[in-house]
Amino acid sequence: MIPCANPLAQFQSRRDEIVDAVTRVLDGGHYVLGPEVDRLERDFAAYCGVSHAVGVNSGTDALILALRALDVGPGDEVITVSHTALATVAAIIATGATPVLVDIDPVYYTMDPESMRRAVTVRTKVVIPVHLYGQCADMGSILEIAKEHRLAVIEDCAQATGAVYKGNRVGSMGDAACFSFYPTKNLGAIGDGGMVVTGNAALAFRVRQLRQYGWNDKRRTEEPGLNSRLDEVQAAILNVKLKYLDADNSRRRELAALYDKALSAQNVKLPKVRPETSHVYHLYVIEVNQRDLLLASLVEAGIAAGVHYPVPAHSHAGYDVCCHLPAAGLPITENFAGAILSLPIYPELSPGDADEVAEKLSSILQRV
């Protein structure tokens, strides 16, 4: 079976370096928030082109802590998209704020800036554009509307580590940005991990306190926080993998180009790349007719294609009652959820396997 993502292959391709790094941590006796985390925070901030990075326990926690550090809580509204990983919306709900969900644009599948503009109210405090699938959101328009309405911007970069928008790395454009190091991500740990980055020293300072109960350096508090520390083993693994991130993202782009070419004659809609951006293809997502039939046929043919995401956030039980939607609903999001199919993509996928995916998909498309 060709999997959709393959964190095991990534471990195997860097096995010796990772085992050495983990052994160094085990022998060092310092297991949580130590020198490996310090180094990762320094190098990751530099990589993103910002001055501060704070390592936390997950991408979801990164979002919760960034929102909390921006004083978001009950009574506030936070605008984001419904077509995202549930985590984006779960984090807003965890702060007590109301998620206000807007539609995506039908070409690039990221937040539609005009839908965002229409959703702003006097209670709106923050907007969270999601750089979905590795594709940059329309940051120019979103930042302009946010500025007009004095909204803070948190970039959700969980799926786009390393992507570039008009010369800027994702993570360097908003007031803060949040990353996930979940194992399948472009920069993946071998467990959970996340990062908040920001150019704002005061915001970084507050996130740093909130990640550990609200403690300052004397273990005194001014407000309650969480326990959301990054551990040394994960940081050491990420320090190894960060060196290879650009090369890995290039591999993803090569595989995407291979799929683009091999599927160009088929009756499917291929992903488009926003002009003046560099896509990092966390996922390669196409639009098809008869999606569920195709998905089942691919699985039968040994290809574990996926769907990201079959159910929009606002349609999940429990979330439906928490989210505010525009009166007209989210028609593009709803249509898209029924048509999308994610093909296997990861740096270790061989061109031969990618060809096989394209060939099998093409032959199934002739039959349905």
Ligand X SMILES: Cc1ncc(COP(=O)(O)O)c(C=O)c1O
CB of 62 to ligand X, least distance (A): 7
Can residue 85 be called a binding residue for ligand X (CB under 6 A)? yes
Can residue 41 be called a binding residue for ligand X (CB under 6 A)? no
Residue 80, exposed/middle/buried by CB under 10 A (0-12, 13-18, 19+)? Answer: buried
Using CB under 6 A, pick the residue from 182, 281, 309, 346 that binds ligand X: 182
CB of 42 to ligand X, least distance (A): 21
CB of 137 to ligand X, least distance (A): 11
CB of 300 to ligand X, least distance (A): 28
Report the 10 Å Cβ neighbour count for 10. Answer: 21
Estimate the share of the chain in helix, then strand, then coil, as percent rounded to the nearest 5.
Answer: 40, 15, 40
CB of 107 to ligand X, least distance (A): 19
Can residue 60 be called a binding residue for ligand X (CB under 6 A)? yes
Backbone φ, ψ for residue 345 (5° rounding): -155, 125
Q: Comparing C-alpha atoms, which of 239, 188, 236 is closest to residue 27?
A: 236
Using CB under 6 A, pick the residue from 37, 87, 152, 245 that binds ligand X: 87
Per-residue tokens: 287 = 């639009």
Alpha helices, DSSP H only, in the chain? 7-13, 15-28, 35-48, 59-69, 86-94, 113-119, 139-148, 201-210, 232-242, 245-262, 291-300, 331-337, 351-367
- The size of the chain, in residues, is 368
With CB under 6 A as the contact rule, which of the stretches 6-14, 23-31, 56-64, 255-263 interacts with ligand X?
A: 56-64
Check 147, 166, 185, 241 and give the catalytic one: 185
CB of 206 to ligand X, least distance (A): 20
- How many residues bind ligand X (CB under 6 A)? The answer is 15
CB of 313 to ligand X, least distance (A): 11
Using CB under 6 A, pick the residue from 37, 54, 126, 158 that binds ligand X: 158
Can residue 59 be called a binding residue for ligand X (CB under 6 A)? yes
Can residue 130 be called a binding residue for ligand X (CB under 6 A)? yes
Can residue 177 be called a binding residue for ligand X (CB under 6 A)? no
Can residue 115 be called a binding residue for ligand X (CB under 6 A)? no
Q: Is 360 a catalytic residue?
A: no
Can residue 159 be called a binding residue for ligand X (CB under 6 A)? yes
Q: Which of residues 183-212 bind ligand X (CB under 6 A)?
A: 192, 194
Using CB under 6 A, pick the residue from 10, 82, 84, 172 that binds ligand X: 84
Residues 207-246, mask of contacts with ligand X (x by CB under 6 A): ----------------------------------------
Q: Which residue is nearest to ligand X (CB)?
A: 59
With CB under 6 A as the contact rule, which of the stretches 8-16, 155-163, 249-257, 263-271 interacts with ligand X?
A: 155-163
Per the CB < 8 A criterion, the answer to whether 71 and 94 are in contact is: no
CA 119 to chain centre: 23
CA distances from 233 to 6, 31, 33, 230, 246 (A): 20, 7, 10, 9, 22
Can residue 156 be called a binding residue for ligand X (CB under 6 A)? yes
Please name the residues in contact with 271: beta carbons below 8 A apart, sequence gap of 6 or more: 133, 135, 256, 279, 284, 285, 286
- Which own/partner pairs from 68-75 qualify as long-range (CB within 8 Å, at least 24 positions apart)? 68/95, 68/210, 68/225, 69/176, 69/196, 69/203, 69/206, 69/207, 69/210, 70/125, 70/126, 70/152, 70/154, 70/175, 70/176, 70/203, 71/125, 72/97, 72/125, 72/126, 73/97, 75/123
Decide whether 161 or 239 has the Cβ nearer to ligand X.
161
Q: Binding residues for ligand X, per CB under 6 A? A: 58-60, 84-85, 87-88, 130, 156, 158-159, 180, 182, 192, 194
List the catalytic residues: 185
